[in-house]
């Protein structure tokens, strides 16, 4: 091998390593934890694969490192919220306090529609914090359990699991339970004929596997090729019925390939959002009375008008946008994610 070729290969290797190091990580947390009980989190790399050897800050000066499977065990705090941080990203989960006489039988709660290709949450009671002890199947296909607590598990369907009605079964700690949902495939219908640079048109997101109207978030990953006229991250609602789709107004910037990502939002959970807002309010500095007042106003509106979640979500997102990266920002993001 010539010295020049060796230098070229080393340069390519360095670029690959740099991209791997700078690719954003994501933290997978069960959305609810049990006070003082163990739970399991997972770290996903920018490629979507589990990432071993990642150090995670879990608060109070404590850290855990993901094992060879990309997961780490930790103990939940006695109350409030748990926040995990690593490499510029963070995630939060609420901590449930359960009385000693609470039921421990296995029971499940699942959103009526979940993504065929993305992780989703199953909550209830009687689950195991050990991901290897929670055996989940979807229409008979074993699902991958990413993270877990005694009250929630985060699972990922296999790629071969088909869209449509789905029976979920869990075996945990010797108990068995089942539930049902719909696995939904979100696909993009591209304009035909293709848009020419500078021209406007519509792109459609089509939902297969359910006739329910869905709330979805769509992200444009190629803004240099095609522009979403109302913003590159949009909250949409599909039409429902057999032709279940949502339009996006777009404008072609130049010729080339483009990519998007769409995900289903679970049904709004105002009660969880109010809990996050209360915890967030406790972190607001005393000299920021306007922020505390805004949080109280949003929480009060949610309590009185729980069906007006979209307006409250927008208000929380506005507050988060003006809040620097911090535990407060993480809690605001978590509250918005509940709405």
Tell me: the pLDDT tens digits for 191-232? Answer: 777 788 988 989 999 999 999 999 999 999 999 999 999 999
pLDDT of residue 99: 54
Residue 126: predicted pLDDT: 84
Residue 8: burial class (beta carbons within 10 Å; 0-12, 13-18, 19+):
exposed
By the 8 A CB rule, do 198 and 251 touch? yes
Quick one: fold of 107-184? Immunoglobulin-like (2.60.40)
pTM of the model: 0.85
Residues in the chain: 339
Sign for the pseudo-dihedral over CA of 91, 188, 159, 18: negative
Confidence at 125, pLDDT banded by 50, 70, 90: confident
Half-sphere exposure of 192 (CA within 13 A, CB side): 4
pLDDT of residue 265 exceeding 60: yes
- Averaged confidence pLDDT in the chain: 88
For the stretch 100-111, pLDDT in tens is 445 556 778 999
Q: What is the CATH number of domain 26-96?
A: 2.60.40.10
In tens, the pLDDT along 281-306 reads 999 998 899 999 999 999 999 999 99
The pLDDT value given to residue 46: 85
Q: What confidence tier does 23 reach under pLDDT thresholds 50, 70, 90?
A: low
Query: How many percent of the chain have pLDDT more than 90?
Result: 74
Residue ranges of alpha helices (H) inside the chain are 3-22, 270-283, 289-304, 309-321, 327-337
At 235 the pLDDT is 92
Structure token pair of residue 8 = 């070229």
């Amino acid at each position: 091998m010539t010295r020049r070729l060796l230098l070229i290969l080393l340069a390519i290797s360095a670029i690959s390593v740099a991209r791997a190091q700078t690719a954003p990580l994501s933290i997978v947390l069960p959305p609810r934890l049990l006070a003082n009980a163990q739970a399991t989190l997972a770290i996903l790399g920018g490629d979507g694969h589990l990432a071993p050897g990642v150090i995670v800050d879990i608060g109070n000066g404590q850290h855990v490192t993901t094992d060879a499977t990309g997961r780490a065990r930790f103990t939940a705090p006695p109350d409030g919220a748990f926040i995990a941080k690593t490499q510029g990203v963070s995630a939060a989960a609420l901590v449930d306090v359960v009385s000693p006489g609470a039921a421990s039988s296995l029971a499940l709660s699942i959103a009526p529609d979940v993504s065929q290709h993305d992780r989703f949450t199953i909550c209830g009671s009687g689950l195991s914090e050990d991901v290897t002890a929670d055996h989940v199947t979807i229409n008979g296909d074993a699902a991958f359990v990413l993270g877990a607590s005694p009250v929630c598990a985060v699972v990922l369907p296999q790629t071969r699991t088909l869209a449509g009605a789905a029976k979920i079964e869990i075996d945990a700690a010797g108990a068995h339970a089942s539930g049902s949902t719909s696995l939904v495939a979100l696909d993009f219908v591209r304009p035909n004929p293709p848009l020419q640079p500078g021209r406007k048109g519509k792109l459609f997101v089509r939902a297969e596997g359910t006739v329910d109207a869905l709330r979805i978030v769509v992200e444009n990953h190629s803004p240099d090729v095609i522009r979403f006229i109302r913003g590159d991250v949009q909250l949409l609602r599909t039409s429902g019925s057999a032709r279940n789709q949502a339009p996006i107004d777009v404008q072609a910037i130049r010729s080339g390939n483009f990519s998007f990502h769409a995900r289903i939002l679970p049904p709004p959970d105002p009660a969880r959002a109010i809990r996050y807002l209360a915890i967030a309010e406790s972190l607001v500095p005393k000299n920021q009375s306007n922020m505390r007042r805004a949080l109280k106003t949003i929480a009060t509106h949610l309590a009185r008008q729980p069906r007006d979640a979209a307006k409250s979500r927008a208000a929380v997102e506005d507050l988060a946008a003006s809040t620097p990266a911090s535990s407060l920002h993480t809690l605001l993001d978590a509250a918005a994610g509940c709405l």
